[in-house]
Amino acid sequence: MKLEERIRVLSELAAFLAPGADGWSEAAAKASAANAWFHPRFVEGAAAQIRQHYLQDSLLNSLARRYAIPPNTTDPRTVGIVMAGNIPLVGMHDLVCTFLSGHRLHIKPSERDHTLITYVVDRIRSLHPEAAEQIAVCDRLNGCDAYIATGSDNTARHFERYFSSRPNIIRRNRTSVAILDGTERAEELQGLADDICQYYGLGCRNVTQILVPAGYDFSPLLEALKAYEWLAEAHRYKNNLDYQMTLLILNRRYYMSSGALLLTEDDAPFSPIGQLHYRFVDPNDNISELLSSQTLQCIVGKRYTPFGQAQSPTLDSFADGVDTMAFLRSLG
């Protein structure tokens, strides 16, 4: 396929991820039924983000120009993509980048997100005859020329062993933090509530720790977080919430509650489901040093990613700071 044809296919794909599109409602409902963490609100939210930030013709053309993707791909390679399934359609960025680059895709979706990814692949294959030869869903990824694999720290060790003989990108556990100074407006705190609570906090771009000054007033943030009290209606989330509260009580640790989220002081950037860590920082602290951890995916704050935008990455927001497009272009 020519580059202009691939861009057309991706831009036309956006219509198939919109409410009311033929087959989309059924696929979204099936995905939510199969995975209790895929709340319908979050499935639709993920699809809207992809339509707006990944599948716009102007954005795709801009990325193609930036990386000098040739009009015709003369030597495509086969790229095996192992996708995660922690949030709906989380593997779409790798899919879009690889398809745009002109390489063949062999995709192994997570069992937790198999329905939505398969739906997307089927729609791409239906939009152009040659797309059926370029993209496929596979049970095994043997004999690929390169690999992109996303998973936990544990699965990363297996990926490194399996894929070490080929060019690869292997991603591990990541999380995100936010920096507050106490002057945030109500709308900024509501945006932060989205960054924290969307997808039940399961994404690597979800804020799981906030850095605040001594004497910080948590009341406005707790008020903003009440917009997500409905999370506690989900059985699995509620189980995690109750378990974490029990541990805090048994260990006599101070905590605050918004109704569906527990805030407790902890230096660790990773927090359990149903919990948000906070850490007091002094203005004289070296914030850059505190944020130098290799486990951080995104930093939210007034001088960083704007509040409410953590879950809206753009096409050039590459996971783990590894330039996926540069990697793909290096393959030939």
Share of the chain above pLDDT 90, in %: 92
Q: Using 50, 70 and 90 to split pLDDT, how confident is the model at 285?
A: confident
Nearest to 212 by CA among 264, 272, 273, 289: 264
If you average pLDDT over residues 38-59, what whole number do you get? Answer: 98
Q: Calculate the average pLDDT of the chain.
A: 95
Query: For residue range 113-169, what is the model confidence (pLDDT) as tens digits?
Result: 999 999 999 999 999 989 999 999 999 999 999 999 999 999 999 999 999 999 999
CB atoms under 10 Å from CB of 32, counted, come to 20
| Domain 175-300 homologous superfamily, CATH | Aldehyde Dehydrogenase; Chain A, domain 2 (3.40.309.10)
Q: CA–CA separation, 124 vs 98, rounded Å? A: 13
The domain spans of the chain are: 3-173, 175-300
Q: Would you tell me how many other CB atoms lie within 10 Å of the CB of residue 112?
A: 20
* Residue 292 reports pLDDT greater than 80: no
CATH number for the domain whose boundaries are 3-173: 3.40.605.10
Pick the more confident residue, 153 or 250.
250
Model confidence pLDDT, tens digit, residues 60-70: 999 999 999 99
CA 21 to each of CA 17, 27, 120, 260: distance values in angstroms, whole numbers, following the listed order:
7, 10, 12, 33
pLDDT of 106: 98
Query: What pLDDT score does 293 carry?
Result: 74
Question: 284 falls in which pLDDT band (50, 70, 90)?
Answer: low
Q: For residue 101, how many other CB atoms are within 10 A of its CB? A: 24
Pairing state between β 146-150 and 135-137 = unpaired
User: CA 176, 181, 185, 189 torsion: positive or negative?
Assistant: positive
Q: How far is CA 100 from CA 5, 14, 71, 109, 171, in A?
A: 10, 15, 11, 19, 21
pTM: 0.94
Average pLDDT for 82-105: 97
Q: What pLDDT, on a 0 to 100 scale, did the predictor assign at position 19?
A: 94
Task: Give the ranges where 106-152 is alpha helix by DSSP (H).
Answer: 114-127, 131-134
pLDDT of 286 above 80? no
